[in-house]
C-alpha cells in the first residue's frame, strides 16, 4: 500500500477527553459519600462509555484497517496485537455495562459497583497509556502523519 497517511491527533484528542472523564470518575470514587450517592458517578460512567464507544468505532473503522494494511511489518504486528487485546477489554467493558445498567442495579450493591468501576477505569487508563506510548508513538515515528 503506497503513501498511507495516518494522523494520531484525533485519537490522542479522544484519549485526552477520556482522561478528563476518568479524572472526574476518580474524584467521585474518592468521595466519602460515593457508596451512598452513586448518581453522579453513574452518570459520568455512562458519559465515559458513550465517548469511548465512539472512539472505538473510529479506531475499528478507520485506524486499524489502515495500519493492518501498511507495508511496515512492525506497525502491522503492533496494530494486530493492540486490536486483539482491545477485543478482551471491550468484552470486559460490555460485561461491566451489563452488570451495572443503571441506578437500580447499583443500589443493590454500591460497594461492588465502586470496586468494579475502579477496576474498569484502571484497565482503561492502562490501555490508553499503552496505545499513546506504543502504537501512536510508533505511527508518529514512522512518519505516517499527513502534512495537513
pLDDT tens profile 29-82: 998 888 888 889 999 999 998 898 888 888 888 899 999 988 889 999 999 999
Which ranges constitute the DSSP H helices of 100-109?
103-108
**Number of CB atoms found within 10 A of residue 122's CB:** 12
C-alpha to C-alpha distance for 32 and 42, rounded to whole angstroms: 16
Residue with cell 477505569: 121
119-136 tens-digit pLDDT: 999 999 999 999 999 999
Residues 6+ apart with CB under 8 A from 35: 110, 111, 114
The number of C-alpha atoms within 13 Å of 63 and in the hemisphere containing its C-beta is 24
**pTM for this structure?**
0.84
Amino acid at each position: 500500500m503506497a503513501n498511507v497517511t495516518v494522523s494520531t491527533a484525533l485519537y490522542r484528542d479522544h484519549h485526552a477527553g477520556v482522561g478528563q472523564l476518568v479524572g472526574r470518575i476518580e474524584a467521585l470514587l474518592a468521595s466519602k459519600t460515593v457508596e451512598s450517592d452513586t448518581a453522579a458517578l453513574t452518570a459520568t460512567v455512562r458519559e465515559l462509555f458513550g465517548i469511548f464507544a465512539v472512539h472505538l468505532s473510529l479506531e475499528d473503522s478507520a485506524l486499524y484497517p489502515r495500519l493492518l494494511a501498511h507495508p511496515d511489518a512492525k506497525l502491522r504486528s503492533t496494530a494486530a496485537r493492540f486490536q486483539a487485546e482491545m477485543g478482551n477489554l471491550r468484552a470486559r467493558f460490555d460485561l461491566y455495562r451489563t452488570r451495572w445498567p443503571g441506578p437500580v442495579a447499583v443500589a443493590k450493591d454500591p460497594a461492588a459497583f465502586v470496586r468494579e468501576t475502579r477496576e474498569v477505569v484502571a484497565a482503561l487508563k492502562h490501555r490508553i497509556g499503552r496505545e499513546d506510548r506504543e502504537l501512536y508513538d510508533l505511527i508518529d515515528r514512522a512518519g505516517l502523519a499527513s502534512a495537513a
